[in-house]
Chain A
């Protein structure tokens, strides 16, 4: 049985096809909910955020342009932004140690349950795995757990400046490892 592409499912959603929505939800619910849980901490709030992300995608499906972004990136960016907004009203959310450990381990490829976008997931996790441990931890806390540099400094017991440097350098190196660099992208602000 052929698997519908993400873009085809979004096109279906734009036409009001809830079966297409159901397929897309099944495909991404673990990543959407997982990201929401990591950022907001509370599972009930995370469920609301994750539902909201899919609803927003549904609302805007008719205007989605696959030439501008991938569906997965679009959906997860919506999720991250909604989760960070939700978290602003509850700043004291702890980092779930289990989720953090999962990400730390996830720098190894996880072939199961990745049928649709295995190569992308593996590529990202390999890029994270190539980072020095301190940079990877800081970047994971910022990118997947929505922690600001201030919060990373507190969690890692390091000065704020060090936290900022680790996040910035980690993100820059991840960009290079993901081969996103193109002509002119290097601004000459590289760090050791």
Chain B
């Protein structure tokens, strides 16, 4: 992926802010704003407007039984732990987007350069939290990236991982309580799978990421930041 110029990115910034771009397009935008503070600021401004608008969106009463169905699903969730105060780190969404860029730019570099898991991370090592994804035998299958103040989490898993759907789960503050952040599909094409999501909490004290649901247990201990 090459960083496109400002005009090209400006063409899709509004759609990016509205959550309408697919993963590749979004990565392209983020790769550009990593080096362009003007576009970065513009994206942050549009994204805050797009999110604020949602409060005035359509209202439709759900079917009878909706509330009970949700409550039943909550009952299937793991037992709760005492709540943990989040780190006090007020900041604009534009900073979150900028932080995500570091991650995306890194991944772009890793993939484009055909590097596996050992790419030179010196330039971002001071701001990222990272961890190797390993199996029970200690073999590395991928890597996790998160920025300390970023809501973006990015996971790479390698071609040797058994194909299937994996739940990506996060643990904070060294806790062994896991929050599901989403699911990643690993194809059987042997390619590196790149998966990113926006986690609605700070990742300052993200300490672990695991991929659950496949035939093997894959876990990353996240450090740094």
Q: Which residues of A contact B (CB under 8 A)?
A: 11, 14-16, 18, 21-22, 25-26, 29-31, 33-35, 37-38, 43, 47, 50-51, 54-65, 67-69, 72-74, 76-81, 84, 88, 99, 102-103, 106, 113, 117, 120-121, 123-125, 127-128, 139, 142-144, 146-149, 164, 167-168, 171-172, 174-175, 178, 180-181, 184-185, 187, 189
A120 to B88, CA, bound (A): 25
Most buried by B among A43, A56, A63, A185: A63
Contacts of B10 in A (CB 8 A): 189
Further 5 A-B residue pairs, CB within 8 A, beyond A65-B202, A168-B46, A185-B45: A18-B74, A33-B66, A61-B83, A79-B54, A185-B41
A61 to B20, CA, bound (A): 26
Whether A171 pairs with B14 at a CB distance below 8 angstroms is yes
A/B interface sample: 6 pairs, CB < 8 A = A62-B80, A63-B84, A64-B201, A68-B202, A72-B55, A147-B20
Tell me the residues in window 1-41 of chain B with beta carbons closer than 8 Å to chain A beta carbons.
Answer: 10-15, 17-20, 22, 38, 41
Contacts of B13 in A (CB 8 A): 168
Most buried by A among B13, B14, B59, B199: B59
Which 6 A/B pairs are nearest by Cβ-Cβ distance? A124-B56, A175-B49, A63-B201, A14-B83, A16-B80, A65-B86
Asked if B57 is an interface residue, CB under 8 A from chain A, the answer is yes
In the complex, per-residue mask of B175-194: 1 if CB is within 8 Å of any chain A CB, else 0: 00001100000000000000
A99 to B54, CA, bound (A): 15
Contacts of B66 in A (CB 8 A): 25, 29, 33, 47, 50-51
Q: Smallest CB–CB gap between A117 and chain B, Å?
A: 7
Asked if B113 is an interface residue, CB under 8 A from chain A, the answer is no
Of B19, B54, B57, B86, the residue contacting A63 (CB under 8 A) is B86
Q: Smallest CB–CB gap between B142 and chain A, Å?
A: 22
Instruction: Place the interface of chain B in its size category.
Output: 35 or more
Whether A77 pairs with B200 at a CB distance below 8 angstroms is yes
Whether B77 pairs with A31 at a CB distance below 8 angstroms is no
Q: Smallest CB–CB gap between B134 and chain A, Å?
A: 25
Contacts of B56 in A (CB 8 A): 106, 120-121, 123-125, 127-128
